[in-house]
Amino acid sequence: MSVFEHKQFYRNISWLSLTELCFKLLSFVFFIAFTRTLGEQGLGEYTYLFSVLSLVMLSWDLGVSTYYQRLWASEPAGFNRDIRNLLGTRLALIAVSLAVFVPYVLVYDRALAWPFVVVILICVCDAVRALPVIYLQSQNNFRANFIINVLDRIIGYGGAIVVLILHGSLLGVLLALLAGRFVSMVVAHVFQGYLYMPTFSFAVARRIVLSALPLFFMALFSSIYFRVDSIMIRHLLEFEALGFYSAAYKLLDITTVLTAIFSAASFPILISLLKSGAAELRAFLSQHALYLCIVGVFVACELFLYAPHILDLLYGPRFAVSSSLILRYLAPSLICIFLNSIAVQYLVAARQEGFVLKVFMSLTVLNILLNFWLIPRYDIVGAAVSTFVCELANTSLLYWRMPVRLKLGDLGALAAITAVCVFATWALPLPWLVRAVLGGLLYVGAGLWFGLIKVSDLRLLARVKASG
């Protein structure tokens, strides 16, 4: 069965597309304004603040969000039973972790103390907001999540862009982001009818935490895996180097909007398909993975070929010189990142988070060792190489456990199409942007010709859209 024959999948993806596009566009405009106004030093500090807090936030969740999203997807009535105890448990965990983290900031990062305070408040609002948001998502209510996230982005990023236009500081930008996050937190709880007052019971909290511990460790090692390079660049090099690295990595992040949309929309569908039958599940996963691979290969090639031009257009010549090589080493990682998104969603839905945990534990150790070895020798390019090696290993391990594989014939056809498109457009005496667009059109046309992209899916997608 085609991916698009699941009407609920399309309804999910419609609202998620709106949410992600609004978020990514506002985020990217903000990121460009931030980089051009505060430069690589400010960008390095901003990246470091949120990288550190993303690790601290794991101790506030302990895997509970993913566990209860899966539970509420099959038992919607459980939300009213669980929410107050969950909120009380989360606030208790926040208080304990901050009692340890705040003294650390005052001793080791005193110069960033006030920015850290504001980022902590942003993350607290996010943690409290997350509970009704994951319930809405588990019930396929992506329309409500769209409203919540748009309020957050418009108020937060819109205010931050105004601050930057007025030549504001990093602290002013963070305060604008805090305003958006606070409003969206209140609205998220209002969607559930009222603002929930937390209750706390040690016995209930212990049961909640223990039930979600496997998911916590998976999230812990996943977060360390994705954030450790930023933190290590900050301590092994300097904020400017982290700024150049973040500018390149942001382009990868903005292109993963499709993986975020597909993965979030697919999770409730995967839960349902795991109960209905193996054949339909394999068909869904196989087609999903192929389309993600097609998109990932195209985006990776475009970033690799036109890295200096893209960076110069967005951030200016200084970043085009210092970040282009980093982007070229990072670009192939996108293919793996696209493929990994559906694999992780499937394994978590199939309650195989223990295997995912082992993968992330192994890759976290590998990533740290590679960064320690490569960054002192090859500067920030070493961090990019480490990312690519680890993502390739991640894909190999995850798909070893998946019930489907990409067909060699499809991969061979995709490789041939990609080579033809690159050689046909790279040497044309045209502006780079025109060559990039022509390459994309040729890529899609060849995909349709060879049957990798099916016209029937495109027609079905349009038909479901018209009836949805």
pLDDT digits (tens, 9 = 90+) for 362-386: 988 899 999 999 998 888 899 999 9
* Lowest-confidence pick of 207-211, 281-285, 353-357, 449-453: 207-211
- pLDDT tops 90 at residue 117: yes
- pLDDT tops 50 at residue 5: no
Q: Which residue has the higher pLDDT, 401 or 115?
A: 115
d(C-alpha 176, C-alpha 301), whole Å: 36
pLDDT value at residue 330: 94
Encoding tokens for residue 410?
């499809």
Q: Which residue has the higher pLDDT, 468 or 396?
A: 396
d(C-alpha 253, C-alpha 24), whole Å: 9
CB-based contacts of 141, cutoff 8 Å, min separation 6: none
- pLDDT tops 50 at residue 461: no
- pLDDT tops 80 at residue 225: no
Residue-wise pLDDT for 45-77, tens only, equals 999 999 888 888 877 776 666 666 666 666 666
Summarize the confidence of residues 130-149 as an average pLDDT. 76
d(C-alpha 256, C-alpha 32), whole Å: 17
* Lowest-confidence pick of 143-152, 162-171, 260-269: 260-269
CB-based contacts of 129, cutoff 8 Å, min separation 6: 148, 181, 184, 185, 188, 189
Residue-wise pLDDT for 186-220, tens only, equals 888 887 655 566 776 777 667 766 766 666 676 67
pLDDT value at residue 460: 45
Count Cβ atoms below 10 Å from residue 412 Cβ, excluding itself: 10
Summarize the confidence of residues 86-107 as an average pLDDT. 86
Count Cβ atoms below 10 Å from residue 364 Cβ, excluding itself: 19
- For the entire predicted model, the pTM comes to 0.77
Domains in the chain: boundaries: 3-406
For a pLDDT cut of 70, what percent of the chain falls above it? 79
pLDDT value at residue 426: 80
- pLDDT tops 80 at residue 454: no
- What is the band of 288 on the pLDDT scale with cuts at 50, 70, 90? confident
- pLDDT tops 80 at residue 156: yes
For residue 138, which of 193, 83, 197, 190 has the smallest C-alpha distance? 83
pLDDT value at residue 382: 92
Q: For all residues of the chain together, what is the average pLDDT?
A: 81
pLDDT value at residue 82: 74
Q: Which of 99-108, 114-123, 274-283, 397-406 has the highest mean pLDDT?
A: 114-123
- pLDDT tops 90 at residue 292: no
- pLDDT tops 80 at residue 242: yes
- Concatenating the DSSP letter of every residue in 49-87 gives HHHHHHHHHHHHHTTHHHHHHHHHHH-TTHHHHHHHHHH
Summarize the confidence of residues 438-449 as an average pLDDT. 90
Summarize the confidence of residues 235-262 as an average pLDDT. 84
Summarize the confidence of residues 279-299 as an average pLDDT. 84
- pLDDT tops 50 at residue 401: yes
* Lowest-confidence pick of 131-135, 168-172, 210-214, 366-370: 210-214
